Amino acid sequence: MCGRYSLSGPNPAILRERFALGDDVPVRRRWNVAPGDEVLAVTTSREGEPRPDLLRWGLVPHWAKDVKAGYKMINARSETAGEKPAFSGALARRRCLILADGFYEWQPREGRRRKQPFWITRADGEPFAFAGLWATWHGGEEEVVRSCTILTTAANGALAPIHDRMPVILPGPDAERQWLDHGSPLGLVHDLMAPLPDRAVAAREVGYAVSDARHDEPDCLDPPPAPEPDAEPTLF
């Protein structure tokens, strides 16, 4: 499961150069990207040329009755995406990069009502791309929605204590080019949908601000508040 992520740190100029975005799409800092939001991505043209794009997070298949279907399709399991009608065509022909610099997961804690949020990044702190799929949906009155989903895989050893799943993070530019390439054989595509090595990720606890999907501010990355000290015992 990947239900929230960030694109908080990179200078827009660095992102534009790193992912060849040009000046055609706006790039802004985000601390709490949520399902249904417009997200920064790289798709491909019919000829297979990479192009910067803005997509709605939550894939809406072409046969869906309305865009609300996308809220159930923010993620696609890499192990079964090729078998699912909503994702199989996109896995073969419409793969994309979804740009980020971290994502959030929540860990249950014994004795606490609230789960502890973690911000998970690359160990080197660099921006990266989730492996994604995209689709185009046509509604009434010429409504067109371009949307995406993030592929997930089994968590690596470093993240398994937090959650049993993690998003597929492509390890670098070569893998990103292979992911976008229409000519990449499906065997290679499946090989790319693997968890990053343990040493390549870092996780730290953050406060509860990120738990509100409507809140998209820098304090989403603040450390959690210190626990309140135990009350001193009274003599009477």
Q: What is the pLDDT of residues 86-140, one digit of tens each?
A: 999 999 999 999 999 999 999 998 888 899 999 999 999 999 999 999 999 998 7
Number of structural domains (the chain) is 1
Residue 111 pLDDT: 82
Q: Does 221 map to a domain?
A: no
CA dist., res. 236 & res. 228, Å (int): 23
Catalytic residue numbers read: 2, 105
Task: Please give the torsion angle defined by the CA atoms of residues 197, 168, 24 and 38, in that order, rounded to the nearest 10 degrees.
Answer: -130
Q: Does 232 map to a domain?
A: no
Structure confidence at residue 160 as a pLDDT band (50, 70, 90): very high
Q: Does 131 map to a domain?
A: yes
User: Smallest Cα–Cα separation from 195: which of 99, 89, 122, 125?
Assistant: 122
Residue 178 pLDDT: 98
Predicted model pTM: 0.93
* 136 Cβ neighbours under 8 A, 6+ residues apart: 62, 144, 145, 146, 147
Q: Does 171 map to a domain?
A: yes
pLDDT at 143 over 60: yes
- The more confident residue out of 186 and 225 is 186
CATH of the domain at 31: 3.90.1680.10
- The more confident residue out of 225 and 102 is 102
The continuous run of DSSP H or E covering 13 comes out as: helix 12-18
Q: Does 28 map to a domain?
A: yes
Q: What is the DSSP letter of 142?
A: T
Tell me which residue range forms the domain holding 34: 5-211
